[in-house]
Amino acid sequence: DINFNLRKGEILGFAGLMGSGRTEIMRAVFGVDPHAGGELVFKGEPLKITKPEDAIKAGLGFVTENRKTEGLILDFSILRNIALPSVDSFAKSGVINFNVLNNFADKMAKKLGVKTSSLDLEAGALSGGNQQKVVIAKWVGMHPEVIIMDEPTRGIDVGAKRDIYELMNELTASGVSIIMVSSELPEVLGMSDRIVVVHEGRIAGELLHDEADQEKIMTLATGGQ
């Protein structure tokens, strides 16, 4: 029983207990996992997504909750990871223009504040916060209209969190829409324009930013009214 809408230039927060189904909803929307039915409408038109490639072509990005196993190829360089979703735009007749690709990756790494001595370094050698910045950089670089962020600041330091929050606000100011799944209530309350609360695979309620507080979210998340 899932029905929600996303507005242009907003952050829509998804809250709920672990195992409530928040991540499963996002994986189904992005085509990572199959869904039994329902309809996805994007800018007024039905959108059929059966695999992540369909979502990417439609202008959607997905920062998954596990950066090490799903967000990055750890033994690939930082440069190659950042370029992955956008690589077609650097190729002509099947040949990649590496000068353009290198400039692009360097620009994105600097935009996200990735701290590294070289973009040729393997992504697995970076700190958790810098790995997360690389994951976000690769999606921001494809200029998406919608980014799903599942636990975008899990396991990273305060400085990296601040950088990511600033980027999220910058993206929404430019018209990008963000769906943010987070287990951290202060993060949900501080960053979201609206908050959808999920309980046992269903949407238990929706709260506006100004009316939401931790008690209301937890009441809905535990099945209360």
**Domain residue ranges of the chain, discontinuous segments joined by +:** 1-59+144-225, 74-142
SS3 109: helix
* CB count in 10 Å sphere of residue 120: 11
| Mean pLDDT to the nearest integer, 73-89 | 90
The conformation of residue 122, written as its DSSP 8-state character, comes to B
* Angle, CA 202 vertex, CA 198 and CA 203 arms, to 5°: 55
CATH 3.40.980.10 fits 1-59+144-225, yes or no: no
What mean pLDDT value characterizes the chain? 93
Q: Which residues contact 100 (CB under 8 A, 6 or more apart)?
A: 90
142 or 88: which leads in pLDDT: 142
* pLDDT score, position 201: 92
Q: Where are the alpha helices (DSSP H) in the chain?
A: 22-30, 52-58, 78-83, 98-112, 128-140, 158-173, 185-191, 214-221
What number is the average pLDDT over the span 148-153? 96
